[in-house]
Amino acid sequence: MPDEDPIVEEVRRSREAWAERFQFNLQAIAKDAERRQLEQNRPLIRRPARPVPSLPAVTFGDAETLEAARTAVST
């Protein structure tokens, strides 16, 4: 593995400690992030959820259907 970047390592440690404080509960982490943004008087940007693309059913060995699904996801 290449030499580790100390800044990247610090960010990873901070992220891990923050997640651990909230028992890795994503809703609690997001709520804390929102609270901190509001306390710091920063604009809170809300975006609508993106739709999840539906994929056609794929059977094993059906290469054409699999390729169509890959194409649908990448567009």
**pTM summary value:** 0.48
User: Which one is predicted more confidently, 33 or 2?
Assistant: 33
Cα–Cα distance for residue pair 33/61, rounded to 1 Å: 45
Cα–Cα distance for residue pair 62/70, rounded to 1 Å: 13
Tell whether 33 is covered by a domain. yes
Q: Domain residues for 5?
A: 1-45
Residues 6+ positions from 65 with CB-CB distance below 8 Å: 56, 57, 58, 59
Tell whether 66 is covered by a domain. no
Q: Give per-residue pLDDT as tens, 23-42.
A: 999 999 999 988 988 888 87
Total of domains in the chain: 1
Distances (CA, A) of 26 to 20, 30, 54, 74: 11, 6, 25, 27
Average pLDDT score over residue span 42-46: 76
Tell whether 64 is covered by a domain. no
pLDDT at 67: 75
